[in-house]
A and B are shown apart, each in its own frame.
Chain A
Amino acid sequence: MLELTDITAGYERGRPVVRDVSLAVAPGEAVGLLGPSGCGKSTLARVAALLHRPERGSVVVDGQAAPGWRHRAPRTLRTAFGVVFQQPRLAADPRLRLADLIAEPLRAAGPRGAAAERLAELVPRVGLSPELLGRRPHEVSDGQLQRACLARALILRPRWLICDEMTAMLDASTTAALVAVVEEYRSMTGAGLLAVGHDRVLLERWCNRTVRWELLTRDAS
C-alpha cells in the first residue's frame, strides 16, 4: 500500500502548491491522477516518489513510514519507486550514452556485473534497438529517449511506478507502446502505478480508477 496522508507541499515556505491531499494506491492497482496543468499534481507525484519534502503530511510505503525525503530516505525505499518524468530531455543526463543511462540505477545501487544481462532483457522489451544504446541523448528522438527513461525506471524492478505525464511529449503510437510496456511489467510483477496526467481518455483506459484533482482537494477541505 502506498498511502499519502494530508500532504501539504510547495516550493516556498508558506505558499503551498498542494494542500492537505490524501491519496492511497493499493498493490497492483493503477490509479490515474487527472488535473489541469500547474495544479500541483506533479509536486504530489514527487512527494510520493520521496523526491520532494512536503511541509506537512506523511507517506507510508508498504507499512513503512518514510523517514525522510531524497537522500534522507533509505536507498531501498527510494529504489522501491520507478519514476518516469514528463520531459525525457531534462530527465536524462546529457553526457551518458543510453546504455549507461539505463544501467545507472543498477550501478548506483545494485550489484555490479548484472547490468549487461538486465540491459539485454529490458532493451527489447521497451522497444529500443541495440544500436541506439551507444548514442547520447541528443542523438535520439524524444520517443526513443523516453523509452530509455522507462527502461531506467524499470531496471531495479520497483514495486511502485510513478509516471508523471509520461506520454505528454509523445505521439499516439509511442504512447500506446509505452503504456503497453508499463502494463506488461505490472502484470508480471504486480507493481502499483500512480499515473499523473491531463489526458482523461488515456488515463481512464489505462487505470483501474481515475481521481480528479478537484475532487481530491475538495474531499480534504
Chain B
Amino acid sequence: MAELTWHPARRGTARDRGNRPLRLVASAAIMAAVLLAVLLVPSLVPMDAQAVDLAAKLQPPSPAHPFGADEVGRDLLLRCVYGLRVSLLVGVVAALTATVLGTAVGALAGALGGWADRAVMRIVDLFSSVPHLLLGIFIVAMFRPGVWPVIISVGLTHWLSTARIVRAEVLSLRGRPFVDAAVSGGASRWRVAVRHLLPGVLPRAGLAAVLMVPHAIWHESALSFLGLGLPAHEASLGIMVNSARSSLLAGGWWPTLFPGLFIIVPTLAVAGLAGAWRERLDPRRRSELML
C-alpha cells in the first residue's frame, strides 16, 4: 500500500548492500567510458586506425603507443577503440533485431495458442537444434563480408531464447482473470494483445535484449576471428585477436591481450548493468513486495 513507508525491497544482507551498488557503479562507469571513447575518439583523434608504420612493428607498450603496435606497426589502442565501435554497433543492432523478432514470434505463439502455438514452437526447436554458430556461419557465407551480414547472422540466430521467454510469459498472462475481464468488456484479440499482454511482457523482453548484447558481441568476435565477419583489413576485435596469434609466438603478448580485454570488459559491464536492472525492475518481484 502507498501509505506504508516500509520498503522491503531495500532490505538485504550486509553483503548485498555492499556489493550491489559497487557492481552497478563499476559497470556504469566502464560503460560510460566505453561509450565516450567509441563516440568521441573517431572525431577528436585525427589518427588513422589503418596507418601502417613498419618502423614501429611489434613495438611493446610505450608512451607513443600505450597498448603497443601490431605486426605492421598500427597503433593498437586506436584499433581497439575502432574495433569496439564495430562490436558495439553489431551487438546493439543485432540484439534489437533478435529481440523484436523473438518478441513477435513468442507473442504470436502465446496469444494464438493451440495448434498455431505448437507449430511455431516446433519451428523454434528446429532452429535451436542447429548449433547457432554453424547457422550463423551459413548465413554470413551467403553475403559479401561486411557489418550488415554479421548483424543479420547474429540477429537471425539469437531470437529463439527471447521467443521462448516471451511465449511463456504471454501464456501465463493469458490465463489471468484480467484478460477474461477484458474479453468480457468487448476487447478484440488485437486489443487484448497490445493493451494487456504486450506491456506485461516488455520489461522481460527488454531485459533479454540487454543480456543479448554481450552475447552478440562475442558472436561477432567469433565470426571475425574465423575470418567470416568483417573484411580482413578492418579494425575488429576478433580479426585483431586472430592476426595477433603469429606475434604471440614471437613473444608479443600485447596484440592479443588488449583486444581480448576489450571484448571481455565491456561485455561484463553490460551484463553487470543488466543484472542490476533485473534485480531492481523485475515487475513480478516488485508487485509481490507491494501487495
Question: Interface of A with B (CB < 8 Å)?
Answer: 46, 49-51, 70-71, 75, 78-79, 81-83, 85, 87, 89-95, 104-105, 108-110, 135, 138-141, 149, 152, 156
Which of B1, B191, B200 contacts A95 (CB under 8 A)? B200
User: B188–A51 contact, CB under 8 A?
Assistant: no
Bound together, the chains give a CA A1 to CA B287 distance in angstroms of 41
Asked whether, in the complex, the Cβ of A90 is within 8 Å of the Cβ of B182, the reply is: no
CA distance A156 to B200 in the complex (A): 26
A78–B186 CB distance below 8 A: yes
Which B residues are closer than 8 A to A by beta carbons? 1-2, 176-178, 180-189, 191, 195-196, 199-200, 283, 287, 290-291
Contact B290 A138 (CB under 8 A): yes
Query: A106 — nearest CB in chain B belongs to which residue?
Result: B185
Query: Which residue of chain A lies nearest to B288 when distances are taken between CB atoms in the complex?
Result: A138
Q: How far is the CB of A136 from chain B (nearest CB, A)?
A: 9
CA distance A85 to B180 in the complex (A): 9
Q: Is the CB of B191 within 8 A of A91?
A: no
Complex formed: what's the CA distance from A81 to B176 in Å?
18
Q: Report the bound CA distance from A79 to B191 in whole Å.
A: 15
Q: Which residues of A contact B195 (CB under 8 A)?
A: 93, 104
In the complex, A93 Cα to B179 Cα: how many Å? 8
Q: Is the CB of B191 within 8 A of A94?
A: no
- A90–B176 CB distance below 8 A: yes
**What CA separation (Å) do A94 and B181 show in the bound complex?**
13
* A135 with B2: CB separation less than 8 A: yes
- What's the Cα separation between A87 and B178 when bound, in Å? 10
A79→B188 CA distance, assembly (Å): 12
Question: Residues of B contacting A50 with CB < 8 Å?
Answer: 184
Residues from chain A with a CB closer than 8 A to the CB of B187 are: 104-105, 108-109
Query: Per a CB cutoff under 8 Å, which of B177, B185, B283 touches A87?
Result: B177
Give, as a whole number of angstroms, the nearest-CB distance from A78 to chain B.
Answer: 6
* A108: B residues at CB distance < 8 A: 182, 185-188, 191
Chain B: CB-nearest residue to A52: B180
Asked whether, in the complex, the Cβ of A81 is within 8 Å of the Cβ of B184, the reply is yes
**Bound Cα distance from A99 to B291, whole angstroms:** 20
Nearest to B173 among chain A residues (CB) is A93
Alpha-carbon gap, A153 to B204, bound state (A): 31
Asked if A141 and B188 make an inter-chain contact with CB atoms under 8 angstroms apart, the answer reads no
* Complex contact A93–B184 (CB within 8 A): no
| Contact in complex: B287, A152 (CB < 8 Å) | no
Q: B188 is contacted by which of A71, A94, A139, A140 (Cβ under 8 Å)?
A: A71
